[in-house]
Structure 1
């Protein structure tokens, strides 16, 4: 419930602070006194967009702050979702800065407007003629029926499973899309893959083939140079090996004389060993070297294949070609296995849909049970509100799709006159009738669910005195379950309140300001007498006011 409201520097309000109690609270005042200003301030708490033009003094900050006792509202889960600290006494503050920037806080934690709206709609329901159109909205009509049917738990379970079902459907749609794309690409991918597989790609093969190609392609030159090198090393008279052997022989005779001679001898000996090894290897290479035109053609062809593939795929190494081959293999494999994956996903969807259908049947059965009771209560309440011939027909039609709250489509039909045709509520009911229907529905709902604080904004417009008395009685009954505010021009309703506030204007230092004052017993008598007979209060009006209050 709303326990306190503070408004500073908003429209015609300089500064206002007022506390509220439970029960039925009446707000009255002359037309233009500022009741709409009060509602405008409260709408900021509900997350309405701020407008710098509504600030009284644009050089100062505008602040609207509301204190709510939410202990009975079961809002801990919502606070958790919105990442807010839960407090049984919650303070919502809205600020409009001189720059025009708006800020919102819940228990001193900054919040965005989406979070403020999510919380605000659970705390305060401002019922205006515009909101009456909500009656014709399917979502609202389902909320009413499901509240009476106590379907909240079943719908929560259904909603959670529906999310999973939609994810599965999206995954299946994606698989079908992938299959369609894959089928288009499959033949080409298979061709590319076979081309790479036929190449028998091996890591490092390119370098090996290029080396072999250079050898085979230049074999005569290589043989000639190896042969010449062999002769230079092994010639009997001038061969390098023979010459170095002679050097070694000469130094061997000096090695025993001193260490430097021995060191040089050892080095020559090592060089001779290495030179002999080189000689043997050149000899082996020369002997192994054979011209092979056929092998040269094979190597050349394989290199040409590699170069063509690299050019085709815009890569530079065999390793990258192998990676492309593996990726293509995966694509072809996935395409070939898509049908099995799709079948598996379809079976999973079928299992989930069967479970969803069980849940929707339970939801539908609960709705069908309470619809007659809802119709009965609505018609009874409307009869007391001057609509004795009002009749409702509520029908549930089956949908082939899973909707957000089941598989039902709703027809909420209304007839205002005896023998009249049933028609859609929006077409069949006038504005005044819709207001009374909304009051009747909210009063019924208050017996089945914890409604937020509700503020009726002149719901009694165009209503006669006797009907207004009935409306007041309904609001009184509602206020036993919840906090109810009503802005009214009718004394019959004003007299029913547990507390009474008056909105009025006064000039302070030649500046008009809107004020809100709680009336005591005597002031209430005068206020209601003025509502009965005008500003000049007569004794009969005072007596009548006392009778209404009693």
Structure 2
């Protein structure tokens, strides 16, 4: 419920601070005093777009702040979904700057207008005579019927299951499309995969093959070079080995004449041993090296295959080919798995359909049972509101497909006159009649659902005094179950409020401003008397006003 509203620098309002009680509150004031300004300010809190022209003093920002007690509203999930801090006493603030920029905050957390609208829709419900077309909306009519039928728990279960069901249906469509597209390329991908599998690719093989190919392709040059190197090292008397041995003998004779000479002798010994090993290795390799035309041909063919595959797949290494092969293998395997996934999803969808059918049947059964008592109750209220011939014809027709609230198609027909054929509400009821129908529906709903703060904006326009008195009694009774605020011109309704605000204009320092204040009992009597008899109210008007307050 709305507990506090503070408005600064909005239109003709310089600054007001209002505390609201639970129950039924009325707001009155002369035409043009600024009651619509109050609703405009509240609309900003609920997420409506700001207009720079609504700023009173352009040198200051406009601020509207509202406090709501929401501990009974079960809004924790909404706060989580919108990433907001939940507080049972939630504060919403809206600021409009002279530059035209607008900012909104929920519990001091900046929010977007869409977030504010989502929250505002759960906190306040505003109705005027020009906004009662909601009652003609099929979704709203379902909400009324389901609330009366106490279908909330069943509907929640159905809605969640339906959401999962639709998700699985969409997933199945995607898989089938994926399979169709994959099948078009399956043959070619299988061919590519088989070709790469037949190549028996191994990491690093290209470098090994290229090295071996170079060796075989230059075998004569290699053998000649090895032979020449061996001769240089091992030739008698003039070979490197013989010359090194001679140097070694000379140094060994000098090694005893000091540590440095000894170290040089030892180092030369090591070089001699290493050079002997190298000579033997060169000789062995020379004897092993020989031409192999068949192996050379094999290597050339293998390298050609690798280069051709790389060119075909537009890569430059065997490792890249292996990655492509593995990817193709996964794709082909995935296609094989698609059939299993599709079959599994079909089973899950069939199971969900069975459960949905059960829940939809339960919803339909409870709705059918609720139609007669609901329409009887509405007709009784409307008869009391000056519509004795009001008649509803509500019926359900079974749909062949699942809808987001079951399998029912709702027909909600109405006539206000005896002997007239019932039609859709928007065709059968006038604006004033729609207002009374909305009041009747909200009155019934308040018995079965936790409603947000409900604001009626002059929905009593054009009704007689007797009907207005009955409307007042209905609103007064609704105030025992919820917070209801009515902006009214009729004293019969104003007298039934537990709290009474008056909107007024005054001229201060050559400036017109709008103010709002709570009326104590004596001032309420004067206000009601003025509404009954004008500025020059008679004693009879005051007596009538007291009577309205005490009824």
Q: Shorter-chain TM-score: what band? A: over 0.9
Say whether residues 1:368 and 2:368 are aligned partners: yes
Secondary structure of the residue that 1:58 maps to in structure 2?
coil
Structure 1: distance between partners of 2:81 and 2:56: 35
Residue 128 (structure 1) aligns with? 128
Structure 1: distance between partners of 2:255 and 2:501: 127
Please list, as runs of the form range in 1=range in 2, the aligned pairs for 1:16-415 lying within 5 A after superposition.
16-249=16-249, 262-415=262-415
Structure 1: distance between partners of 2:255 and 2:500: 129
Q: Deviations over 1:516-549 (max 9, x none)?
A: 2333444333333333333333344444444444
Say whether residues 1:529 and 2:529 are aligned partners: yes
> Relative to structure 1, is the Cα distance of residues 245 and 3 closer, same or farther in structure 2, using a 3 angstrom cutoff?
closer
Structure 1: distance between partners of 2:50 and 2:314: 59
Q: Return the offset for 1:457.
A: 0.8
> Relative to structure 1, is the Cα distance of residues 312 and 529 closer, same or farther in structure 2, using a 3 angstrom cutoff?
same
84-93 or 282-291, which deviates more = 84-93
Secondary structure of the residue that 1:177 maps to in structure 2?
helix
Residue 447 (structure 1) aligns with? 447
Structure 2: distance between partners of 1:502 and 1:243: 125
Q: Return the offset for 1:422.
A: 2.6
> Relative to structure 1, is the Cα distance of residues 272 and 423 closer, same or farther in structure 2, using a 3 angstrom cutoff?
same
Structure 2: distance between partners of 1:519 and 1:445: 30
> Relative to structure 1, is the Cα distance of residues 193 and 540 closer, same or farther in structure 2, using a 3 angstrom cutoff?
same
Q: Deviations over 1:71-120 (max 9, x none)?
A: 44344444444444444444333222333322333344443333333333
Gaps of 5+ in 2: none
Secondary structure of the residue that 1:343 maps to in structure 2?
helix
Q: Return the offset for 1:205.
A: 0.9
Structure 1: distance between partners of 2:181 and 2:243: 77
Secondary structure of the residue that 2:448 maps to in structure 1?
coil
Structure 2: distance between partners of 1:398 and 1:131: 30
Residue 467 (structure 1) aligns with? 467
- Give the number of equivalent residue pairs: 550
Q: Return the offset for 1:337.
A: 2.5
Gaps of 5+ in 1: none
154-163 or 338-347, which deviates more = 154-163
> Relative to structure 1, is the Cα distance of residues 218 and 469 closer, same or farther in structure 2, using a 3 angstrom cutoff?
same
148-157 or 90-99, which deviates more = 90-99
> Relative to structure 1, is the Cα distance of residues 258 and 399 closer, same or farther in structure 2, using a 3 angstrom cutoff?
same
Structure 2: distance between partners of 1:546 and 1:260: 131
Secondary structure of the residue that 1:480 maps to in structure 2?
coil
> Relative to structure 1, is the Cα distance of residues 151 and 236 closer, same or farther in structure 2, using a 3 angstrom cutoff?
same
Secondary structure of the residue that 1:447 maps to in structure 2?
helix
Q: Return the offset for 1:182.
A: 1.3
Structure 2: distance between partners of 1:108 and 1:281: 84
Residue 489 (structure 2) aligns with? 489
Q: Return the offset for 1:501.
A: 2.7
Q: Return the offset for 1:510.
A: 1.4
> Relative to structure 1, is the Cα distance of residues 268 and 461 closer, same or farther in structure 2, using a 3 angstrom cutoff?
same
Structure 1: distance between partners of 2:224 and 2:164: 79
For the 8 Å contact 2:26–2:499, the answer to whether it is kept is yes
Q: Return the offset for 1:236.
A: 4.0
Say whether residues 1:511 and 2:511 are aligned partners: yes
Secondary structure of the residue that 1:276 maps to in structure 2?
helix
466-475 or 524-533, which deviates more = 524-533
Q: Deviations over 1:97-152 (max 9, x none)?
A: 33332233334444333333333333322211243111122221121112112222
Structure 2: distance between partners of 1:225 and 1:80: 81
> Relative to structure 1, is the Cα distance of residues 98 and 347 closer, same or farther in structure 2, using a 3 angstrom cutoff?
same
Q: Deviations over 1:355-406 (max 9, x none)?
A: 2332222222222221221111111111112222222122223334433333
Structure 1: distance between partners of 2:206 and 2:109: 66
For the 8 Å contact 2:135–2:141, the answer to whether it is kept is yes
> Relative to structure 1, is the Cα distance of residues 249 and 122 closer, same or farther in structure 2, using a 3 angstrom cutoff?
closer
For the 8 Å contact 2:130–2:431, the answer to whether it is kept is no
279-288 or 471-480, which deviates more = 279-288
Structure 2: distance between partners of 1:251 and 1:80: 91
Structure 2: distance between partners of 1:548 and 1:255: 135
Structure 1: distance between partners of 2:471 and 2:367: 28
Q: Deviations over 1:328-375 (max 9, x none)?
A: 111111122221221122222222332233222222222222122111
Structure 2: distance between partners of 1:519 and 1:158: 49
Considering only aligned residues, what root-mean-square deviation do their CA atoms show, in Å?
Answer: 2.5
Secondary structure of the residue that 1:121 maps to in structure 2?
helix
Structure 2: distance between partners of 1:530 and 1:195: 98
Q: Return the offset for 1:506.
A: 1.4
